[in-house]
A = this chain, B = another copy of it.
């Protein structure tokens, strides 16, 4: 029988009523002739409550115990979902990560999936079970302990199951009805995309469009899993085309050069003024930052004058203190000689993303022009094959997003 994977996030299973609503969707796909693997999150709020208890108990907690505690939320939802389906006369049963088994690395609290056993679940499908309800976000380590995959890990669980079981599609039910050209709270012209390429989704996900966990998109791209994002609160999916399909770029006939405009508010900029410019200076700066757990994003090095240069980089706001400490340490140890460390916490990042850029020159110029027309100064620029990001003053962020959305004509489909 053809197989679907359906994933329901925390808000979609927040109450027994919502679980019933989700179960009805599953029942419809079963009636359509699909076997279904349902991946569930914990009821909304549950994981936060459990994490709160762990953190209150122990500041530097043992991640193995964190995982043992926090994974319990999904287990509850999985059992309740299976019971709800059974009440609807749909043959279903629940599985915890270790029962599948979903094998992971030992990296507790952010484990990676190594392997998914398909035998046990397929044997039950062969016996007539129509729905396997699997607790998302969790697996089992080589040491036989429960692991979790990091926040949002249920998306990754869903895609991994779709890949392992060769599912026709992986549907991610969430509280938004798809992926938009930009955040609809910033411009009413934002338009829902029917399709988006994996590469674009990946850039958008890592840029802060919190619809899908980045790793789930990577995994879907690698294993060519058709991934659909749709709302569990709307009843419009009679023909299987609701939401946004994340797919191979070959599956998208026509698209705009730019698919979307993303932003990230929590950015900071640091500059080391008058650094002695010598071979290995970048390593001497960014090595210690990486060791201190600072995620440096954009880097700009000024032209060297008299053997000295300025080095600027961006980082998440909440890592500024750690970065300062690391930079003070390398100065004190004599590894890096700089005159001054300047921090600007009032910046934001705005990016345009689109696979069409590969074949279209002039996107960067068009972007810079649009920002200049609004009088917005660009502080740092980085580019990739399908993305251009700029760091600007935070107060201009909304304005920049609106201007770029207009400039690239995103309110209209290609």
Contacts and interface: CB of A to CB of B under 8 A. Distances in A.
B83 A58 contact: yes
A56 interface: yes
Contacts of A68: 75, 78-79, 82, 94, 96
Q: Describe A's contact surface by its main secondary structure.
A: helix
Contact of A57 (B83, B96, B98): B83
A79 B69 contact: yes
A78 B86 CA distance: 31
Nearest to A135: B68
A54 B86 CA distance: 12
A107 interface: no
Interface hub of A75, A79, A144, A146 (most chain B Cβ within 10 A): A79
For this chain, the copies found in one complex come to 2
Interface stretch (A59-67, A174-182, A189-197, A305-313): A59-67
A302 interface: no
B65 A79 contact: yes
A93 interface: yes
A65 B86 contact: yes
A299 to B, nearest CB: 39
Contact of A75 (B66, B69, B82, B99): B69
A110 interface: no
A341 B79 CA distance: 43
A259 B150 CA distance: 56
A94 to B, nearest CB: 5
A404 to B, nearest CB: 46
Interface residues of A, number: 36
A145 interface: yes
A80 B79 CA distance: 23
Closest 5 CB pairs of A and B: A69-B79, A68-B79, A72-B72, A58-B83, A65-B79
Given A57-B87, A65-B86, A96-B146, 15 more contacts: A16-B53, A16-B56, A54-B83, A57-B83, A58-B83, A65-B79, A65-B83, A68-B79, A68-B82, A68-B94, A68-B96, A69-B79, A69-B83, A72-B72, A72-B73
23 contacts: A16-B56, A16-B57, A50-B76, A53-B80, A54-B79, A54-B80, A57-B87, A58-B87, A62-B82, A65-B79, A65-B82, A65-B86, A66-B79, A68-B75, A68-B78, A68-B94, A72-B75, A72-B76, A75-B75, A98-B98, A99-B144, A99-B145, A120-B144
